[in-house]
Amino acid sequence: CYCCVLPSAFRTMTEDAVKVCVRFRPLLCIYPSELPRGSSGRVHRHVLLFADRVFTAEESTDQLYRDIAKPLVVSTVGGYNGTMFAYGQTCSGKTFTMMGSEHAPGVIPLAMEDVFQTIKKKEFLLRVSYMEIYNETVTDLLVDHWKRKPLEVREGMNVSSPQSQQSGHVC
Ligand SMILES: Nc1ncnc2c1ncn2[C@@H]1O[C@H](COP(=O)(O)OP(=O)(O)OP(=O)(O)O)[C@@H](O)[C@H]1O
């Protein structure tokens, strides 16, 4: 399983500004260590102690999107700041949930679809950047592959952050 963390104006479940949700993925028989041993129920009960919402293996990405991401998208388009990120060990399902596939789109394409559906009816400036932090290297993913070089990480109040060196795309 992995966790989604949702700070900001997201207030549908309690009044806390940060929500932690856990999604279980089905056991995958391609990993021998995951062959079912009937212990998932016990794990579930422990997770419930700290999560605001637990998504079982039977729940779809669509369901997860409707329950936790869409309210965040709506409040963000309304002018609030919002962040959603996924973390978890390798193969826990972060990419599956956030990116998905052509047939089962993940949270990011579903959110983009919703954003564009909403803003097409009004005048709106949308600026998009896309970066990867991998092994402490920050990369701008909107730059052509052959032109990419690591973004510099600087600290301090008056120096630019990685984001300010990034390409920004106005849609
Ligand atoms: N909810 C799910 N239902 C069915 N299959 C899933 C689900 N979540 C993940 N998987 C499958 O589990 C495998 C690992 O998932 P994924 O690649 O998303 O993990 P990851 O957390 O992004 O891994 P890494 O950190 O190594 O990139 C993939 O084969 C993916 O299709």
- pLDDT (average), residues 110-124: 91
Cα 93 to ligand 1 centroid, rounded to whole Å? 3
Q: 82 and 109 share a domain?
A: yes
Residues 7 and 74 occupy one common structural domain: yes
pLDDT at 21: 92
Residues 107 and 150 grouped into a single domain: no
In the numeric block, which tokens belong to residue 30? 């391609």
Binding site as annotated, residues = 88-95
For residue 30, what pLDDT band results from cuts at 50, 70 and 90? low
* Residue 167: how many other CB atoms lie within 10 Å: 13
Residue nearest to atom 26 of ligand 1 (CA): 90
Cβ–ligand 1 distance for 7 under 6 Å, the answer no
Does residue 65 register a pLDDT over 60?
Answer: yes
pLDDT at 50 over 50: yes
Q: What does the pLDDT average to over 85-107?
A: 94
Q: How many domains does the chain have?
A: 2
* 164 vs 8: which has the higher pLDDT: 164
Per DSSP, which regions of the chain are E strands? 2-6, 19-23, 53-55, 85-87, 127-128, 131-134, 137-140, 169-170
Quote ipTM for the complex: 0.98
* Domain extent at residue 91: 2-119
Q: Give the burial string for 48-84 (b: 16+ CB within 10 Å, else e).
A: eeebbbebeeeeebeebbeebbbbbbbbbbeeeebeb
Whether 140 and 113 share a structural domain = no
Helix, strand, coil fractions of the chain, as percent rounded to 5: 30, 20, 50
Binding region for ATP: 88-95
**Domain boundary residue among 97, 119, 141?**
119
151 in Cβ contact with 139 (< 8 Å): yes
Atom 3 of ligand 1: nearest residue by CA position: 25
Distance 101 CA to ligand 1 centre (A): 11
- At residue 42 the predicted structure's pLDDT band, cuts being 50, 70 and 90, is very low
| Most ligand 1 atoms within 8 A of CB, residue of 55, 62, 96, 98 to mutate | 96
Is the pLDDT at 6 greater than 90, yes or no?
no
* Residues 99 and 141 occupy one common structural domain: no
Q: Could you report the per-residue pLDDT of 130-162, keeping only the tens digit for each? A: 888 888 899 999 999 888 889 887 777 765 555
